[in-house]
Amino acid sequence: MLLDIKNKKILVTGGGGFLGSHLIEKLIERGVSMDNIFIPRSHEYDLRRRDDCEKVVKDRDIVIHLATKVGGIGYNQEKPGELFYDNMVMGAQMIDAAYKANVGKVVILGTVCAYPKFTPAPFKEEDLWNGYPEETNAPYGLAKKALLVEAQAYREEYGANIIYLLPVNLYGPRDTFDPSRSHVIPALIKKVVDAKFQNNDHIEVWGSGRATREFLYVEDAVEGIVLALEHYDKSEPVNLGSGKEISIKNLVEMICKILDFKGEIHWNTSKPDGQPRRLLDTSRAEQEFAFRAKTDFEEGLKKTIRWYVKERKLNY
């Protein structure tokens, strides 16, 4: 079944952010008019407030809930309560408000942080409940995982058409490079760029470098979201990833090579590695809506770096 989205009125929460801005472009590429896309701005609508959730879903055919409060390991350690509460309340209220406004379809974005700390790789969707998440991001991961429970419960009791996607770590142009909130790729790019242009002889990186991560280029991610919107109508969660992993050590070395930074890498092993491994089984997405990531990781990394240095008006 194909959901024709061209003439649908679509709400995209978080549409002004990193992922959201790319998703808006993808929807327009699919034929959706910008006049039919509503992006609620945080200075006008606080999605932690029930009445604001009701306002933004009114007369919408589709809701894509991307709005989130998120950051790297340090941010998760600093604000666990805030991350749990804000993400739980926003998502829970959006699901309920959308159902009560008779929205035709709702897409909820979860997180790879919802998986148990010691999930066997590659992570299968059935593994979600087989343990507690990695401690440094557990409040965030559990808040997002609770939205899966709500989505499935509303489908079972009310017949609400809500789907739940589990993206792995995203990266690409327009990512957040603020060191207080950035994830690993933008944080490392900024470290290396700063060191190179300040003529420093080393960079410091948290952890041991042994942990592995899987990354999904943002343009691939939004293709997956739109394919799921158009083709997927089941209650089971679906992983969105590239199906490939890389150690943090190899990632740092790749960034240094691209930027031609020849300084030393100092590993601060007093800082946490986070989850030991992250690698998703992406077979369900391929089977259900023919999604497969296309962007070569090194090429995606180069595009991200080029965007960042251009934004900072640097040359490398």
Residues marked active site are found at 140
Residue 306 to residues 153, 212, 218, 251, Cα–Cα distance (Å)? 44, 24, 15, 17
d(CA 260, CA 52): 48
Spatial distance between the Cα atoms of 260 and 46, rounded to a whole number of angstroms: 44
Residue 18 φ/ψ, nearest 5 degrees: -55, -65
CB contact set of 89 (below 8 Å; sequence gap of 6+): 48
Phi/psi of residue 222, each to 5°? -70, -30
One-letter amino acid of 255 = I
**For 199-235, b where at least 16 C-beta lie within 10 A, e where not — what string?**
eeeebebbbebebbbbbbbbbbbbbbbbbbbeebeeb
CA–CA distance, 218 with 172 (Å, rounded to integer): 5
